[in-house]
Amino acid sequence: MRECNKHIQEIADYIDGELDAKLCDDIEDHLKGCKNCRLMVDTLKQTVILCKDGEKEELPESISSKLNEAIKKRWEKKFGKA
């Protein structure tokens, strides 16, 4: 689970499309072997879509931070603190 916690921020960036290619590969590698993170990505993608309300705009910084907070809280609730 340590591995997963390490990836939370990267997963958020990955979903935002802000991750560089190298890290993207790392994440996708991890996702292949980790059901928990795949679930997280699916959940977050839906959250992001809701936030964006169907529009292809960059998430404002404030929403991005809130999303990151939400990820952490959701993660800790589900899997416990790191």
Binding mask 22-41 for Zn ion (x = CB under 5 A): ------------x-xx----
Instruction: In whole angstroms, give the CA distance from residue 26 to residue 29.
Output: 5
10 lies in the binding site for Zn ion (CB under 5 A): no
CA distances, 56 to each of 8, 11, 38, 51, 53 (Å):
23, 19, 23, 11, 9
74 lies in the binding site for Zn ion (CB under 5 A): no
Closest approach of Zn ion to the CB of residue 48, in Å? 19
Binding site for Zn ion (CB under 5 A): 4, 34, 36-37
